[in-house]
Structure 1
Amino acid sequence: MGADIGIEGDLAATADLHLDGRVDGDIKCAALVQGETSEITGAVVAENAHVAGKIKGSISADTLVILKTARIEGDVTYGTLSIEEGAQVEGNFSNRAAEPKLMLAGGTEAV
Structure 2
Amino acid sequence: MFNKTSDQTAAPGGVPAARPSNTKSVFASDLKITGEISSIGDIEMMGDIDGNITARSLSVGAEGRMNGTITAESVDVRGTVDGQISASTFTLRAAAHVAADVTYKTLVIESGAQIEGRFARHKG
TM-score by length of 2: 0.76
1:56 paired with 2:82, answer yes
Give the aligned CA root-mean-square deviation in angstroms: 1.0
Q: What is aligned with 1:18?
A: 44
Report deviation, 1:76: 1.1
Q: Any gaps of 5 or more consecutive residues in structure 1?
A: 99-111
Q: In 2, distance between residues paired with 1:27 and 1:45?
A: 6
Alignment of 1:79-90 (within 5 A): 79-90=105-116
Q: What is aligned with 1:2?
A: 28
Report deviation, 1:49: 1.0
Is the partner of 2:55 in helix, strand or coil? strand
Q: Which has the higher strand share?
A: 2
- 2:55 alignment partner AA: C
Which 4+ residue blocks in structure 1 deviate beyond 2 angstroms?
none
Is the partner of 2:28 in helix, strand or coil? coil
Q: How many residues matched?
A: 98
TM-score by length of 1: 0.85
Larger gyration radius, structure 1 or structure 2 = 2
Q: Any gaps of 5 or more consecutive residues in structure 2?
A: 1-26
